[in-house]
């Protein structure tokens, strides 16, 4: 089983990239973030042509998540459980397919909106920890993946790529990410590549890509059962070199 997560930074801008990537890689599942459009504007036809069915939680201008799948699935959640009901940010979708639970998330960045913006990120991570625990309790194969906007450790950021006070690297942010690992989830990339320098994001500015000033902020977390089946995990760096790329590349994971 092949699956990937990819922050596309506007699905309307990146439709040709995603289409070509699906044709070449043929994943069973693709989790998308930062659609930047309402659900009705999602270019589903381009992906249906290739045999993929979509589930979309869209929002005008900002955020937005979707799942493309070749196998049948059911949508179980269209928002992160535990958030206030008036929270309209499109950041979470959860499905079940072949007995496996798949959660796709776009975690708040936390750098805008001052103290309240960062507090929102931490609260979101607290709700995520609760959901992650409940899913382990349910004892089904579970995968939680997406753009976490968390750079877990110093080796996940190039020298000079990010300020030490940035919301992606603050101790409170990292502690909340580690809590997911302590609960029993496996970081798929680090499980297979404990020391390698592997980035998933390069800023558009300041020549971040040519200078390889990247960050590892897109992650695939696996429940113990799925971790046993992990055979490959890697960012697809080649996507960052294409014309008009997203600032993130796909992270591809293969399970036996």
Partner DNA sequence: ATGCCGGGTCCTACCCGA
Residues near DNA (CB under 7 A): 7, 9-10, 12-13, 34, 36-37, 60-62, 108-109, 111-113, 117, 147, 149, 160, 162-163, 165-166, 168, 201, 203-206, 215, 217, 244, 247-248
At residue 215, the 3 state secondary structure works out as strand
Residue with Cβ nearer DNA (97 or 213): 213
User: Most distant CA pair in the chain: distance in Å?
Assistant: 46
Cα–Cα distance for residue pair 217/152, rounded to 1 Å: 7
Q: Shortest distance, CB of residue 13 to DNA, whole angstroms?
A: 4
Helix residue ranges, H only, the chain: 11-25, 44-48, 114-138, 171-183, 188-192, 224-227
Residue with Cβ nearer DNA (113 or 154): 113
Nearest alpha-carbon partner for 149 in 118, 127, 179? 118
Residue 30 and residue 6 in contact, taking contact as beta carbons nearer than 8 Å: yes
Residue with Cβ nearer DNA (6 or 52): 6
Q: Shortest distance, CB of residue 164 to DNA, whole angstroms?
A: 7
Residue with Cβ nearer DNA (13 or 53): 13
Q: Shortest distance, CB of residue 15 to DNA, whole angstroms?
A: 10
Residue 199 and residue 213 in contact, taking contact as beta carbons nearer than 8 Å: no
Nearest alpha-carbon partner for 43 in 62, 21, 68? 68
Q: What are the tokens at 37? A: 């459009």
DSSP state of 50: T
Residue with Cβ nearer DNA (43 or 184): 43
Q: Shortest distance, CB of residue 203 to DNA, whole angstroms?
A: 6
Q: Shortest distance, CB of residue 208 to DNA, whole angstroms?
A: 9
Q: Shortest distance, CB of residue 201 to DNA, whole angstroms?
A: 5
Give the number of other Cβ atoms within 10 Å of residue 45's Cβ.
9
Residue with Cβ nearer DNA (61 or 137): 61
């Amino acid at each position: 089983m092949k699956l990937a997560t990819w922050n596309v930074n506007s699905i309307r801008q990146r439709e040709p990239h995603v289409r070509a990537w699906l044709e070449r890689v043929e994943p069973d599942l693709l989790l998308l973030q930062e659609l930047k459009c309402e659900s009705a504007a999602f270019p589903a036809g381009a992906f249906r042509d290739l045999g993929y069915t979509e589930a979309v939680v869209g929002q005008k201008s900002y955020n937005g998540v979707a799942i493309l799948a070749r196998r049948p699935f059911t949508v179980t959640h269209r928002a992160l459980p535990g958030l206030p009901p008036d929270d309209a940010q499109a950041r979470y979708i959860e499905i079940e397919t072949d007995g496996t639970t798949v959660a796709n998330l776009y975690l708040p960045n936390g750098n805008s909106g001052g103290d309240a913006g960062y507090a929102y990120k931490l609260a979101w991570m607290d709700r995520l920890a609760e959901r992650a625990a409940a899913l382990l309790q349910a004892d089904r194969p579970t995968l939680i993946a997406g753009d976490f906007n968390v750079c877990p450790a110093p080796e996940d950021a190039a020298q000079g790529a990010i300020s030490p006070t940035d919301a992606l690297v603050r101790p409170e942010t990292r502690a909340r990410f580690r809590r997911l690992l302590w609960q029993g989830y496996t970081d798929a990339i680090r499980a297979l590549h404990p020391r390698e320098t592997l980035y998933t994001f390069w800023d558009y500015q300041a020549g971040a890509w040519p200078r390889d000033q990247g960050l590892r902020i897109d992650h695939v977390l696996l429940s113990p059962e799925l971790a046993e089946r992990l055979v490959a995990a890697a960012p697809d760096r080649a996507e960052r070199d294409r014309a008009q790329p997203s600032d993130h590349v796909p992270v591809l994971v293969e399970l036996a």
